[in-house]
Amino acid sequence: MSSLHITIIQSALHWENKSANLNSFEEKINSINGKNEIVVLPEMFSTGFTMQPELFAETMDGETTQWMRRIAKEKKIILTGGVIIKEDENYYNRLLWVLPNGIIYHYDKRHLFAYAGEDKKYNAGNKKIIISVNDWKISPLICYDLRFPVWSRRTKENDYDLIIYVANWPERRNQAWKTLLQARAIENQSYVVGVNRVGDDGHGVYHSGDSAVINPMGEVLYSKTKEEDIFTIQLEKETVNQIREKLPFQKDGDDFHIEI
């Protein structure tokens, strides 16, 4: 069974400053040593969680996507993180999954954070994606999606071994972040990787990071609070298979269909 080497970059963000953020993340990525297959950046990593998409949105051939393509090619990695994208006069909080060959897959955030007015500025996505990497199936989601277990649920049609959440999740609700990451791992018998930012945003809202890696039993393998950090971990597919075979809980679950 295959291993998967994944790197989390927990970073402070320069508020609404693309060039500063791209330069900062390039330096951090260049510092990574050793075997690595996937590098994960936070939600809206080039701008912060801004409600001004009309000023900062890009097309799928924009500055940030071209930067991601270049980095993925040069480093021979999969690079993923959240970016503001404009399509057909609509704005999306979009996760980009960029392969070394330049191919990009994407996921649009389904659950928009109405508490901050995100639903007034952005369009919600309407489908999940499952991405294959070697023998692994990976489900990438964004921040507030974490609060909705039905959307995150592993099913026969949406089966995966690892779920990744990229986020701008504030410290004042970090207990929910940490608890729900563990819950998603336990109920889906899946690895969970949560990548959050640190520091204050442009509104003075503090983010404590608390990025984490959790195994399919809900055990925390890594967590970092209040500091920038670059962390690489090796995940084992055999761990997923053994837990699901020993504890075949999914067969007792409910069948359901999500209406969009």
| Active-site residue (options: 143, 171, 178, 237) | 143
Alpha-carbon distance 79 to 68, whole Å? 7
Mark whether 143 is an active-site residue.
yes
Q: How far is CA 27 from CA 45, 80, 148, 219, in A?
A: 14, 16, 35, 31
Q: Work out the angle at residue 107's Cα, subtended by the Cα atoms of residues 101 and 108, and round it to the nearest 5 degrees.
A: 140
Is there a catalytic annotation at residue 157? no
Distance (Å, rounded) from C-alpha 225 to C-alpha 183? Answer: 19
Q: Which member of 37, 43, 58, 118 is catalytic?
A: 43
Are residues 25 and 260 in contact, defined by beta-carbon separation less than 8 angstroms? Answer: no
Q: Where are the alpha helices (DSSP H) in the chain?
A: 18-30, 53-56, 63-75, 118-121, 149-152, 174-188, 237-246
Q: How far is the C-alpha of 162 from the C-alpha of 189, rounded, in Å?
A: 9
Per the annotation, the verdict on 109 as an active-site residue is yes
Taking the C-alpha atoms of residue 222 and residue 229, their distance in angstroms, rounded to an integer, is 11
What's the CA gap between 170 and 133, in Å, rounded?
31
Among the listed residues 18, 28, 58, 109, the single catalytic one is: 109
Q: Mind telling me the catalytic residues?
A: 43, 109, 143
